[in-house]
Amino acid sequence: MGNILRNNIGKTDDKKPPGKSRNVFTDIWYFLFYLPKYKTFIRFKTFQDRLDFRHRILQRIGMDASHYSVLNVHKIGIDAPPNYIFEELLSWNGDSTCWPNHIAKVDRINNTIESIQILPFGRSKYPFGIKNGIFGMNFIPLFNMNAQKIQSVPISSDADNARYILYKCTGGYPIGFYTMYVRSSIAAQGEKEQSQLFFGVGFDFFGTKSWTKKHIVVKIWAMIHNKVTRNVMNRFKQLAEWRFEKIQKG
């Protein structure tokens, strides 16, 4: 493991694609322990800011995030146009170098982006003949993702070239909805890259609405989720910018 960590696993080189994870251990290093360059988690300064953001989500993608006790939104700037970034998002599968596929395997149903299941360690069945979950909780699949709406072409009233995928999620992992959203950068907001990519999730921990975001279990779960998401988005930025640069150079 020491030799692995001394190789290029932790390095960020904007002119190279992110290295591919080899196994569960490198998944853990890449996506949980490694601290990437760019912060992505959006922190709401006040409860009103949080409500305003929920309202904007409702306006843009039609999802009322107020139903969930936890709303986590991440954002990263990418030097590539929104249409190119969205095409990269549509290619998300089990071979991606931007996702911990050894821990949470991406299985595209009928090879489509509309229906995806995430399998823990690639398992589609419980070990040792177990059929009904562990300790009353179902972990296989971790969650099913069913696309509710895919906007691949901006609507005419959009000035920011917004494109997005909205998923309804069910299964063992406590996520109610998940969205990937990309738009042109807005200079007035201090955004310097060509595009801004957002990942948003809303959930109640295993459906327990009485557990607020301050509950210790929820806080730990959210911390892990946020750390993994930050690494996923940093790696996606690196991959998208590297590929787009190659296209520009021909």
pTM, two decimals, is 0.85
Name the pLDDT band for 126 (thresholds 50, 70, 90).
low
Average pLDDT, the chain: 83
Inform me whether the pLDDT recorded for 36 exceeds 90. Answer: yes
| Alpha carbon distance 176, 248 (integer Å) | 39
Domain with residue 153: its CATH number is 3.30.530.20
Name the pLDDT band for 206 (thresholds 50, 70, 90).
very low
| Alpha carbon distance 178, 221 (integer Å) | 16
Quote the percentage of the chain above a pLDDT of 70: 82
Residue 2 located in a structural domain: no
Task: Mark 67-93 as b/e (b = at least 16 C-beta within 10 Å).
Answer: ebbbbbbbbbbbebebebbbebbeebe
Lookup: tokens for 50: 């949080």
Residue 9 located in a structural domain: no
Residue 68 located in a structural domain: yes
Range(s) of the domain holding residue 218: 20-249
Inform me whether the pLDDT recorded for 207 exceeds 70. Answer: no
pLDDT of residue 1: 38
pLDDT of residue 213: 57
Number of domains the chain is built from: 1
pLDDT of residue 6: 38
